[in-house]
Amino acid sequence: MELIIQGAEAKLFRDGEVVIKQRIKKNYRLAEIDTRLRKSRTKREEKVYRTLNGINFPCPRLINSDEKETLKIEFIDGPVLRDILSDKNFNELSEEIGRKIARLHNQGIIHGDLTTSNMILRNEIYFIDFGLSFFSQKIEDKATDLHLLKEALESTHPLVWEKSFETVLKEYKEFAKEGKEIIDRLQKVEERGRNKAKI
């Protein structure tokens, strides 16, 4: 197996066309608490994948889970959007991103880490890395998910982020349940952020 990523919470190994995700033990936590956290997060991520696979959402296919700390998922090959989003293609790609975030939110799934580093272009855009995802129908949570994408676009794609995010929101508003209300809440989330920055 080849170690492809080691983050704060997990190690990802590639074994052919399979990615094996192992959540890392945290020695600074009480062993009982650490085991419970890793188990609950693994089961939650497994449930997200099962839900998305069930509606044929473009994301890795879940192969299996030990329901404790390890997931096996499909390896998705292709360029990462972080490396290819540009002034020439942002409109088409951003429209697709907006529609697909709407599909996620319509299923009550909050990604939790919406960045172009977690999107891969194969025959279409695939979303990856649902390690921070959770289930929620709250307008606030959906607005916060969009706000995280805005911050990621601004920092990673400074030349096109405004046009890209505007296009994302246009498609999102059309396809998301309560899309207008969520975008209205997004403005309030951003206002709170600006107010905190002034303090």
Identified catalytic residue from 15, 77, 87, 113: 113
The dihedrals phi and psi of 127, each to the nearest 5 degrees, come to -95, 140
Evaluate whether 98 touches 122 at the Cβ level (below 8 Å).
no
Q: Are 45 and 133 in contact (CB under 8 A)?
A: yes
**CB-CB contact of 116 with 101 (8 Å):** no
| Residue 130 DSSP one-character state | -
Note the helical H segments in 2-80: 31-54
Neighbours of 62 (CB within 10 A): 20
Structure tokens of 55? 């509606």
Contacts with 36 (C-beta within 8 Å, 6 or more apart), sequence order: none
Contact of 60 with 76, CB cutoff 8 Å: yes
113 is catalytic: yes
Cite the active site residues: 113
